[in-house]
Chain A
Amino acid sequence: MIEILQWSTLAICALVAAARIPSTLRGENRSLFGIFSLMTLAILLSIQGPYVVIDQAMGGINLANLLLRFVIFGAIFFLGVRISRGFGADSAHRLITGKAGMVVLVAVSVVMVALFFMMDTAGSSAGLVAISGKDARHFALVEYYGAAGRAYPAYVALALLPSMVRAVRDRLPVLVRIAAALLALGGIAVALTLLFPVIPPSLGSIEFIINYTAILCFVIGLALIWAARVVNGRSAARRRTSTET
């Protein structure tokens, strides 16, 4: 069940990224292609099979997991910048690109890297599950490391959330409002990841569902905005020809 979710999310994300290639070559919003590519890479790195292959190539000490965290940070940062600028959310834009955002990003990164190197990370294991099982100290370190990795995305998601909720109620094209609702839902899902430590291990699959809901909402939301633009471009072209005749 979770495998299906992982691979289908990967497929959707990779498809959208591939679909962006023509417009990227034309020079339209190149960073969107970057966001989709980073997200695809992040999903790839969170699935056991590809993770082990990549990590073995990187030395087998789970550096791929650290890479995954920074890939997510990069994707969420650019996502935050584009969305806040597109939706005119100046306060969110300041929170993400301003001093506060940089402080959070650097602090979280430093803590995360420090925690990573405090662990004995030999032996590739997606999600550091095997590392966490080594002893109580490693269990705690992995928990903190995971929390640090979720903190920055949650910060950006919470910064964006108010403007997304506002956009849903704005007089915007329907597709854009649906997209804003999906982005808001994705933001809520990312914020919920902060609560992972209190979720009992028996409900562990909920964590996966929340993670992949967030990614799917972001990817589909962004794709919808793009679709809305294409639809609008077409109807505008039709209007132009109908007035000419």
Chain B
Amino acid sequence: MTLSAKAFQRWLQSIAPDASTADVCRISGIKRTTLAQQLVRGKVSVSTVVSISRAYKINPVAALAGFDAYRVLAGPARPPTRNELVSQISTADLLRALLVRPAMEAVHSAEAPALTPAPHATSVKNWVDAIDDGEVRHRVSAATGVAPQNYSAQLTANRLSPELAVATALAAGVGPAGGLVATGVITEEEAGWPPGARQAALDSLSDGELVALAGERLQSLGKVLRRQEQDQAQTEKIWENLG
């Protein structure tokens, strides 16, 4: 959900009392026209608040918590669950970690390279899968009024609006900021995830767990790729005959 322009102006007043809109845009790197349009429409996007917070060295989660719609983000950061942490490790990183495990008969025990920061190509879907008890999607759509098929469509596209990301975290009973990390709105650090937490979670997986997880990821990746290839082949055929 977007934030009301009124509340946004009030917030901006409190963090940068003397700054003009032009100053704010320059410091935060937001296009002036973008901000002006958001203000005129009375709907300021979450990413605008995040960018401005970062520019003024304020934690974006704390800043968002000041707005009514995101009040749930207030309070001390709740640590992410292990499943959440692992869900934010890219498939490529998982496979690299797997290759240096003893189970893969690694002769030279080389260190896997450092993890790439979240989000990754399927981070949103993996995050929801990691916290889903089977009913989360229903609860989210009941709570927000968003139709289940629209919700699924967003997940498939590795997207989730900030509002839905927070609603999903609430419905699953995990830390409210986790979804914002998975969608790339804020960083792990901003969400209060301990440094190295993902690496630690990865290290805590047994060989068996890691192989099973990598297998699941590869299987769903394979499905997506196959579907893309089929779509591509169909499109090529249309162009071959009608282009």
* A-side contacts of B227, CB under 8 Å: 171
For the complex, would chain A's binding face be called helix, strand, loop or mixed by DSSP majority? helix
Query: Chain B contact residues (Cβ within 8 angstroms of A): what range?
Result: 10 to 19
Which residue in chain A gives the minimum CB-CB distance to B233? Answer: A88
Which residue in chain A gives the minimum CB-CB distance to B227? Answer: A171
Asked if A86 and B231 make an inter-chain contact with CB atoms under 8 angstroms apart, the answer reads no
Asked if B241 and A176 make an inter-chain contact with CB atoms under 8 angstroms apart, the answer reads no
Q: Which of B237, B239, B243 contacts A88 (CB 8 A)?
A: B237
The verdict on A29 contacting chain B, using a C-beta distance below 8 Å, is yes
* Residues 94-118 (chain B) with a chain A CB within 8 angstroms: none
Asked if A85 and B235 make an inter-chain contact with CB atoms under 8 angstroms apart, the answer reads no
Asked if B243 and A229 make an inter-chain contact with CB atoms under 8 angstroms apart, the answer reads yes
Asked if B243 and A172 make an inter-chain contact with CB atoms under 8 angstroms apart, the answer reads no
* Residues 209-243 (chain B) with a chain A CB within 8 angstroms: 227, 231, 234-235, 237-243
Indicate with 1 or 0, residue by residue over B136-178, a CB within 8 angstroms of chain A CB atoms: 0000000000000000000000000000000000000000000
Task: State how many residues of chain A have any CB contact under 8 Å with chain B.
Answer: 21
Q: Which of B231, B235, B242 contacts A82 (CB 8 A)?
A: B242
Complex CA distance for A148 and B227, rounded to whole angstroms: 44
Complex CA distance for A3 and B36, rounded to whole angstroms: 49
Asked if B234 and A82 make an inter-chain contact with CB atoms under 8 angstroms apart, the answer reads no
The verdict on A70 contacting chain B, using a C-beta distance below 8 Å, is no
* A-side contacts of B238, CB under 8 Å: 86-87, 172, 176, 225
Complex CA distance for A82 and B235, rounded to whole angstroms: 14
Complex CA distance for A171 and B241, rounded to whole angstroms: 18
The verdict on A157 contacting chain B, using a C-beta distance below 8 Å, is no
Asked if A225 and B239 make an inter-chain contact with CB atoms under 8 angstroms apart, the answer reads yes
* A-side contacts of B239, CB under 8 Å: 86, 225, 228-229, 232
* B-side contacts of A120, CB under 8 Å: none
How far is the CB of A29 from the nearest CB of chain B, in Å? 7
How far is the CB of A223 from the nearest CB of chain B, in Å? 10
How far is the CB of B223 from the nearest CB of chain A, in Å? 13
* Residues 151-187 (chain A) with a chain B CB within 8 angstroms: 170-173, 176
The verdict on A222 contacting chain B, using a C-beta distance below 8 Å, is yes
Asked if B235 and A29 make an inter-chain contact with CB atoms under 8 angstroms apart, the answer reads no
Q: Which of A28, A88, A222, A232 contacts B234 (CB 8 A)?
A: A88
Which residue in chain A gives the minimum CB-CB distance to B231? Answer: A171
Asked if A83 and B242 make an inter-chain contact with CB atoms under 8 angstroms apart, the answer reads yes
* B-side contacts of A232, CB under 8 Å: 235, 239
The verdict on A17 contacting chain B, using a C-beta distance below 8 Å, is no
Asked if B242 and A226 make an inter-chain contact with CB atoms under 8 angstroms apart, the answer reads yes
Complex CA distance for A230 and B242, rounded to whole angstroms: 12
How far is the CB of A166 from the nearest CB of chain B, in Å? 11
The verdict on A32 contacting chain B, using a C-beta distance below 8 Å, is yes
| Chain A interface residues toward B at CB < 8 A | 28-29, 32, 82-83, 85-88, 170-173, 176, 222, 225-226, 228-230, 232
| Given A29-B242, A226-B242; 6 other pairs, CB 8 A cutoff | A29-B240, A29-B241, A87-B238, A88-B237, A225-B238, A228-B239
| Chain B interface residues toward A at CB < 8 A | 227, 231, 234-235, 237-243
Question: What are 28 of the A-B contact pairs (CB < 8 Å)?
Answer: A29-B240, A29-B241, A29-B243, A82-B241, A83-B242, A85-B241, A86-B237, A86-B238, A86-B239, A86-B241, A87-B237, A87-B238, A88-B234, A88-B237, A170-B231, A171-B227, A172-B231, A172-B238, A176-B235, A225-B238, A225-B242, A225-B243, A228-B239, A228-B243, A229-B239, A229-B243, A230-B243, A232-B239
